[in-house]
Amino acid sequence: MTINSKTMTLNVNDNVPFLTYNRLSEIDFINHAFSTRLGGVSEGIFESMNLSFEHDDFDKVTENYKRMCKAVGFEFENLVASSQDHHTFVRVCTKENRGVGIYKKKDIQSVDALVTNEKDVTLVTYYADCTPLFFVDTKKKAIGLAHAGWRGTVGRIGAEVVKTMVENYGTDPADLVCAIGPAISKCCYEVDKACADNFYALNLDDSKFVFPKDDGKFMIDLLECNHQILLSAGVKEENITLSDLCTKCNSDLLWSHRATNGKRGTMSAFMTLK
């Protein structure tokens, strides 16, 4: 099993594959991972590593989480999950939130980003084409994860995470190391004019992430759009890494909503302070 990537590494431990960012792996005080669709026990359309409890068997998804934790080196009891609905609310997490969305009921219905500066709190967010955003404050030792679908992207959720980290942890955006993706890429993400107009309205360099087609549709580069949003929030160019893996193009390894016509499981991003 191999991938064609210059920015990410495919790891396999205890027969569980997971991705890591080469740049983030250089930071010695964090542990992070991005799951694949392989290595779990779910069945049917969720086969095999599905990490969403919706519509799947609770015990099987729990076992999937435990397998991921064992493979990567997380403590299952320390997980805290988002409750995503394509908005831009950022939750500040502490040890008191551990278990929420995993083995405790969700207590907030709209959470698309998580941040923490506490050890032994592992952040978990969900994907199947939408864009994951990773944030590491290398000076204050704080971390964040965000789910940026097209609505979250045009809502500038990346900038909202930076703002939240500045307000809560004293983060200097120049100290942030960020990673974007894996997600559906400009080769595969086609939208209509009504959707594309939201990207034009951002007042960024849309020539780099909105590409009109002859048939009236548009190809969108969510990764580049989020890249520009992070730059506008004060993150340094040299501190931003973009994944070179498209979820739809790699749908044998990664869950893709579009590749499966919605009949799919869900991947997770994980990150914790050691």
CATH of 8-183+240-273, one of 3.20.20.60, 3.30.460.80, 3.60.140.10, 3.40.50.300: 3.60.140.10
Indicate yes or no: pTM above 0.95: yes
pLDDT, position 99: 97
CA of 246: how far to CAs of 93, 181, 195, in Å? Answer: 30, 8, 20
Residues of the chain with pLDDT under 50: none
Q: Are strands 122-127 and 142-148 parallel, antiparallel or unpaired?
A: unpaired
**DSSP letter, residue 93:** -
> Residue 81 half-sphere exposure, CB side, CA atoms within 13 Å?
24
What radius of gyration do the chain's Cα atoms show?
Answer: 17
Residues listed for the chain? 274
pLDDT, position 154: 98
Q: Is residue 269 within 8 Å of residue 125, measured between CB atoms?
A: yes
Q: Where are the domains of the chain?
A: 8-183+240-273
pLDDT, position 144: 98
Alpha carbon distance 207, 36 (integer Å):
32
pLDDT, position 2: 84
Alpha carbon distance 181, 64 (integer Å):
22
CA-based max dimension of the chain:
53
